[in-house]
Structure 1
């Protein structure tokens, strides 16, 4: 019996999704966006309530990428991928993919996102960031060790740098779409998809999943000063599908969906507490490399009382097991 007589099913699609994900991650064009220096610090701008919640709960808010403060960001990436589709449609090797590409563009134009992100900057003292994310300068920038922060969220969330240069954006979007399309064209001959139209419909949804992942990696070059790094997770992935979706009112007057991005250790700790399991073995488990968010420094915003805030922040951090955290004053000459 030929393989093509077997009908495609969701288990097979999930297996292929994992296979394709490994291929994409290994692409040289994408590997470059994941590399950071040991000298880097990831800064997360927030207010004092944010610091309190992050430390006490050992977690971040991961907001839906379609609801971020930069309202054009999600659509900027969609437009880029649509332009890439238009370009590939004219290539001889993809002439038979017009139906597939049409379905992909239709799904992209729904402007929905299944990606949830937590954002950081390599610059911990930037006026635009103080204004946008740290209560107009009345907040702080929390510095984290990038390697240990990445280890804290291993498998659960993917870390990547935002790409601002037009030429690099085009290279990445072309590589992602080209690899995805070639991958499923090869798989088409292995199973019975129920006809070409059904193949186009099913595969469009699979490819859109990956496009959605990289849509949020692109921003307009005007934002390049941010030097943004973000952790990205999907609500419908195997790791995160059972996570509870929350909502908050954003500054842009929208009800913003978000997930709680917790360290692997914190997730396991809470699960054991719910099931009334002991925590002694958890403390010894070497699988959990990072048991506490790796805060290395704090920069106090330019519109804050520095001395009193430094004193209270130091005491607060010590209470929660943090020592040797440097606390500095913003050098930005901004007061409100």
Structure 2
């Protein structure tokens, strides 16, 4: 039974629409294929954001080890050693924002003259996440809140490892040294982001560990290497794909961009979806 704070982090349902910012190719692919690409955590644009969570866990383990008894020090040492293998696990994430028309998001995810924010009903995303046994949760930016999560995570795994050590081994006890630390960390690490990104109000879809042999696990061309990703199906249990609205990003041709977006939505049987142009006074042309 996980500590309440850990369950609480992963059990929230968004009360408002969430927006995925993308370019033209992403816009067409998401709506035409009813799927979204989730990128491997080790191949995100800012790899340092994932290492931030690992550093927090490592620092907490070392701090506790300094005052722990001999048995706990041994368990904590095994947990720290397990961190070295974290990059070998395939976990993918996809990002959304509570902000429907954000300058920073247009700059980061749109092209210089075109972009779209696809608005999904929050309850729909929660439903498809549960259907695929993924997690949907808001990012945590506050340093104190991050530390609370890390403390609870380390405490949870340490307690489990104590119990395992005291119990007789069984055929089902095939956990690696360090116990569930890596499995748990993959769920929470993508949510711990630097405070400077707080205005993004980001939520993330987070996978369980994935097999690279899965049909939905694929690779795309990157700037300097192949980038692994997962084709996440955006359909509920009844096979429905739902979007609420489209915000057309800053562009030198807003009227034509709106018109072509509406025509594309009609072609994809999404005639009722609202389409609006961004109100952000941003120009890069």
Matched residue, 2:141: 164
Matched residue, 1:232: 206
Matched residue, 1:100: 75
- Distance in 2 of aligned mates of 1:179 and 1:188: 14
Q: Which has the higher helix share?
A: 1
Residue deviations 1:75-120 (CA, integer Å, cap 9, x gap): 111111111212332454x641323322332332345143200110
Over 3 Å off, 4+ runs? 240-244
TM-score by length of 2: 0.88
Matched residue, 1:257: 228
**Contact conserved, 2:5 with 2:152, CA < 8 A, in 1?**
no
Residue deviations 1:162-192 (CA, integer Å, cap 9, x gap): 1110000000011112112202321333323
**Contact conserved, 1:75 with 1:111, CA < 8 A, in 2?**
no
Q: Is 1:115 the equivalent of 2:85?
A: no
Distance 1:235 1:209, change over 3 A: closer
- Alignment counterpart, residue 311 of structure 1, candidates 259, 273, 283: 259
Larger-gyration structure (1/2): 1
TM-score by length of 1: 0.76
Q: Is 1:189 the equivalent of 2:137?
A: no
- Distance in 2 of aligned mates of 1:37 and 1:236: 25
Aligned-residue offset at 1:306 = 1.4
Aligned-residue offset at 1:258 = 0.6
Count of residues in correspondence between the two structures: 281
Matched residue, 2:245: 297
Q: Is 1:208 the equivalent of 2:156?
A: no
- Alignment counterpart, residue 75 of structure 1, candidates 28, 43, 51: 51
**Contact conserved, 2:13 with 2:126, CA < 8 A, in 1?**
no
Matched residue, 2:102: 126
Q: Is 1:222 the equivalent of 2:193?
A: no
**Contact conserved, 2:118 with 2:246, CA < 8 A, in 1?**
yes
- Distance in 2 of aligned mates of 1:107 and 1:246: 27
- Distance in 2 of aligned mates of 1:184 and 1:48: 49
- Distance in 1 of aligned mates of 2:271 and 2:84: 49
- Give the unaligned 5+ runs of structure 2: none
- Give the unaligned 5+ runs of structure 1: 1-22, 266-287
- Distance in 1 of aligned mates of 2:60 and 2:221: 34
Aligned-residue offset at 1:35 = 2.6
Q: Is 1:174 the equivalent of 2:151?
A: yes
